[in-house]
Amino acid sequence: MTESDVLILYAQTSFERVDKFISSNVDDITRSYVKKLIKAGNVKIDGTIASPSSSVTLGQSIEIIIDDDEIGDIEPEEISIDVVYEDDDIIIVNKPAGLIVHPGAGHKSGTLVNALLARYPEIIDVGPGFRPGIIHRLDKDTSGLLVVAKNIKAHANISQQIADRSVTKIYTTLVRGHMASSEVLIEAPIARDPQNRKKMAVVEKGKYALTGVKVIDHFKEFDLLEIKLFTGRTHQIRVHLESVGLPIVGDASYGIQHTAIDRQFLHSCYLGFNHPSFDTPIEFNSDLPYDLQTFLDSIRER
């Protein structure tokens, strides 16, 4: 049996072909891949299986089912990764920016999972089919620490810690603008942006989300912030900061682009949780990578 990802979109326009609509509104999915899903009967419009020539009308629901089988077998790949700690239960990886965590529609190779399987083939059956070992994610252009499980027991244990909000995840980010106070909590629900299905947004009926924000340093145009996640919604930090008028520098989707940096200034710098076998606290730290530190030094010198 395979696991499926089910996406529900709502048409914002009329008379647009369904394959074009889906590829335009879902990250990392190509129009040719959408056509394969349609031919497999995995796309429905208002509950009716779509055909390759189907068009959508304003307000219609479009359901897309992506199975593990559609993604296919995951091939191990010799990709260099920075493992900062490992034992019989866990692997702590310092992920570079630009590396996607796991395969999905449109990217079956070149991911962290492909690299992990080359180095740790024993994790192939740990967790969902195309996310072996993966307990939590970082966005492609977010760097820093994440934990990978080596066995089913560790996967279940740390997943429960995350559900119980007992895992501490802290990030460093740079935003344009200045905080009104040195420390604040942002509590705002998050869901798919009804105006742009590729993005998330603060939405009244979204999922509960809570982010702690603390000022580390001030610059002329920017604030360097420490972010503590109390929940783990998709794009939570980026959405919450944008919603309070503090866009992340270099973030093309939610923040502001800058000529001196080619990705979002967001780094997972601290990870703390209880070891799944010994139930003792363990913690890991990661310094800012070279690109972010260099940019920070450049604005500090102005």
Per-residue pLDDT, averaged over 12-32, amounts to 77
- pLDDT tens track for 85-113: 999 999 999 999 999 998 876 677 899 99
CATH fold for the domain made of 170-268+292-300: Pseudouridine synthase (3.30.2350)
In the beta sheet, which residues pair with residue 253? none
Q: What is the DSSP string of 266-281?
A: EEEEEEEEE-TTT--E
Domain 4-69 has CATH 3.30.70.20: no
262 is catalytic: no
Domain 82-164 has CATH 3.30.2350.10: yes
* 4-69 and 170-268+292-300 share one fold: no
**Residue from 89, 139, 141, 291 carrying the catalytic annotation:** 139
Tell me the C-alpha distance between 239 and 248, whole Å.
Answer: 9
pLDDT of 195 over the 90 cut: no
Q: Are 198 and 27 in contact (CB under 8 A)?
A: yes
Which are the contacts of 126, defined by CB distance < 8 A and separation ≥ 6?
A: 132, 133, 149, 150, 151, 152, 154, 155
- pLDDT tens track for 38-84: 887 889 998 898 998 899 988 888 888 776 555 557 889 999 999 99
Tell me the C-alpha distance between 223 and 235, whole Å.
Answer: 20
pLDDT of 1 over the 50 cut: no
Enumerate the domain spans of the chain.
4-69, 82-164, 170-268+292-300
